[in-house]
Structure 1
């Protein structure tokens, strides 16, 4: 019989397909075995032990956890659910499967210090954050790693020197607009809504040299559209990041329109800055209409990079400039209106130190009780309560493994580590049995380290933290000067709930009734 006469029962491509599948399976098995052996060798070398794994009735996707977290988020108790039902039950470090993605959660200061400082080169922001925020923000300091992040941060730094942030005239200008716009009949107002308008106006003027003007009741339609679009865009980014691997399923019919509106607002400002720089040939990084003050936008415009890259960078910074300060102010007003004894202490300190004049930079730094109050607001209500880093290589966290959680744990390359500051700030073993209480006096003696991180830490510490603290201090002092009483109406005395997007503000708003003080204040603000 001739070999050519032998007939195969199936076409040749069938056998090719079988061999290809077998090769892929073999390769996958080899990769898994290699990874297992690599993990075991690495773990042995560093004395690592297994971390607690949170069980689920659905081991493939962890759908039961996803459903419970969704319910908690709808009730504005997402952070509290993690604190009580997860960290409270499984310890300070554990692993959980959420929609097929294994995440490592920790609220342990030693692990957070490792991620942010001692092992900083081992962790990145990660591609997921970039992908889920790129439509609104492009790539900048919020979502970049490596040289792009380093460049944006270095360019921003001169905008945040003492000489820049100590110019309190900017704050007073917008506080005046805020106060003038408030109702005069004593009705309750949501100070949180006004705080977000205020920080948007201040942030746009500080970074761009021109304000959005949304504090003014007669704000332009352009300013109002920008504020609406920016709010919706930020909320969309937050939801996509939180959905993790399900982010492609996110849908909001207005999200794309909002991103476009934000870009249409910022692009002409960017082009004007570039044109002004080209005309003057200036390398002083001055902005349109203000040749004396360094601005982040002006600095970028002088570098010759594309308008889109400039827009990306300034929008990344604007999120921090607006949201972090506004969340802190909202929490401060929330507690101030509910704590008359604390309010009285603050007002007494303000009146004693200032004697009716407007505050200077050094005054705000020297007000001891005011600084305790703000630190306590940041402790209980951190503006950024959770954050994520991604291991860029095999590494370890110092604790969390073994029966008592004291052994190091192995963190493979690609592992996402979620650290929850909200829980860390409320741990009773770190802060005492009154950890859930708002008590500024605790700061008289406490000297925290990595158990207190309202602005992150290490190389990626929030570059604008001093600006946010100064801005909030100034606003509180001015309201204490101008109003004899700030009180929460009886209808809004319910406990705090969260409004958690990229940052965390007060779920029910910061409703306050304001009683005007008599007398006139001075008209000059000194640095």
Structure 2
């Protein structure tokens, strides 16, 4: 951490020019991306007495997330998110976070992810069967909505060991959409005086309460099943039975709720959004879609992909990586500085709000050649060098890197390979596809596609 002398010796962080705070209120994500184009990857967001900084230079991101991570905590900017996620891995700090990470790590072991592949295949098969009438009639389906439904099925089966009907799946999807919308609004209230009422607060609270009821019911049912001798192969069972090696303690229902809430919301939404964007990009780049189809034909020979096939599906993985470069799972996330610090040549005061943006880094021509182009071959061993690795962090960096990254990437790769084996996918001609920030970055009005059977 920087001393007072070091702080005095640094240059001030440049402020935003030509971007009004009215734009922040109307479009926070657009405001931040315009701001990120200024300076050299660290810019001060003007908001009266509020001290907020947007960081996108890979060196500065590494300093905050790795080099001096202890000085950058999940500060007050996360308060609106904590209303929903509680004190889970995504929002906690310090010793409590380390304890929770220890307890949860075994639940994300590679062996568990390997077993999940069968669940993924069954969920995709069921969805593809339901698409048959639309495929036969050349009618569009919304690949974002379908990806969400598939991922909800996968997450619930993997997380809770339970199947759900379409009605309940739809209810969970609607509730989580409401919770994400509430988080998106509340995260920007750090710019607003605390005495001002914020729109949608009551609806946000009701959505959290309704989703709480669903989660607590699933926790109660799983505890009862374990007491009756159920083997408990799901993630929730692993979390319920996990003991801290140092204290012997297990998680309370409230702690389980916070972690499950986080896994459920972050898990299905981020993966489903990535899969949808991948199909939109492949639709725009038929040569890439052709290469993808040729690879799945060669590797799979018509059978359903399994976990062991992923190592051979190298182009499929590059498609996933490039999609998350252009559309990172969470395009912005947040920290708060504890003490004064020096980041590069710049002084960062203690008590500042920090916004880190993978989206801005991934689209910056100072760090990527032709950054707006869809080019999966950026991730070949020859091209994905140390410079690119530093500038690529869709799931974070350092010890706070998302614990669910391997699971998300596995699901995305399996889904894309399975669908590519069966269909050619093209975005509906004339469809206006624009993004919107809702914690994740997703197609604003869905993503309608036409599926044509291959072969």
Does 2:308 align with 1:362?
Answer: yes
- Which of 394, 403, 412 does residue 349 from structure 2 map onto? 412
Relative to structure 1, the CA distance from residue 154 to residue 212 in structure 2 (aligned partners, 3 Å threshold; closer, same or farther) is farther
Offset, 1:424: 0.8
Q: How many Å separate the matches in 2 of 1:275 and 1:124?
A: 37
1:274: how far off?
2.6
The match for 2:296 among 342, 350, 360 is: 350
Q: For residue 275 of structure 1, report the CA deviation from its aligned partner.
A: 3.0
Contact 1:178–1:194, Cα closer than 8 Å, also in 2 = yes
- Which residue, out of 38, 41, 57, partners 2:5? 41
How far is the alpha carbon of 1:305 from its aligned partner?
Answer: 4.0
Match of 2:410 among 456, 470, 474: 470
Offset of residue 298 of structure 1: 4.1
Look up the SS of the partner of 2:339 in the other structure: coil
Q: Structure 1: any 5+ residue segments left out of the alignment?
A: 1-37, 57-63, 214-218, 281-288, 400-407, 519-527
- Aligned twin of 1:479: 419
Alignment of 1:336 with 2:293, yes or no, is no
Superposition pairs of residues 3-152 of structure 1, within 5 angstroms: 40-44=4-8, 47-54=9-16, 65-71=20-26, 73=27, 79-83=29-33, 85-98=34-47, 100-129=49-78, 131-152=79-100
Deviations 1:457-491 (A, max 9, x none): 100111111111110111111111112x2111212
Q: Does 1:319 align with 2:269?
A: no
- The 8 Å contact of residues 32 and 54 in structure 2, kept in 1 or not, is answered as no
Q: Does 1:502 align with 2:450?
A: no
State how far apart, in whole Å, the 1-side matches of 2:234 and 2:451 are.
37
Give the aligned partner of residue 208 of structure 2.
Answer: 259
Counterpart for residue 246 of structure 2: none
Say if 1:279 and 1:442 are closer, same or farther in 2 by CA, change over 3 A: closer
Number of aligned residue pairs: 437
Q: Choose the corresponding residue for 1:158, options 106, 110, 134.
A: 106
Corresponding residue of 1:173: 122
Distance 1:107 1:304 in 2: 38
Separation (CA, whole Å) in 2 of partners of 1:211 and 1:156? 23
- Are the equivalent residues in 1 in contact too, given 2:160–2:234 (CA < 8 A)? no
Normalising by structure 2, report the TM-score: 0.89
Larger radius of gyration: 1
Residue 307 of structure 1 is matched in structure 2 by 253
Q: CA RMSD in A?
A: 2.3
Residue in structure 2 matching 1:203, options 155, 161, 169: 155
Report if the CA contact (8 A) 2:178-2:204 is conserved.
yes
| Structure 1 CA distance for aligned equivalents of residues 347 and 440 of structure 2 | 30
Contact 1:105/1:419, CA 8 A, preserved across alignment: yes
SS in 2 for 1:236: helix
CA distance in 1 between partners of 2:232 and 2:308 (Å): 23
Cα distance in 2 for partners of 1:81, 1:336 equals 28
Q: Distance in 2 between matches of 1:119 and 1:212?
A: 44
Instruction: Give the C-alpha shift of residue 139 in structure 1.
Output: 1.6
Aligned partner of 1:443 among 379, 382, 390: 379
* Structure 1 residues 54 and 517: CA distance shift in structure 2, 3 A: closer
- 1:180-219 superposed matches below 5 A: 180-182=129-131, 183-184=134-135, 185-213=137-165, 219=166
Residues 262-281 of structure 1: matches in 2 within 5 Å? 262-280=211-229
Residue 154 of structure 1 and its aligned partner are, at CA, apart by 2.1
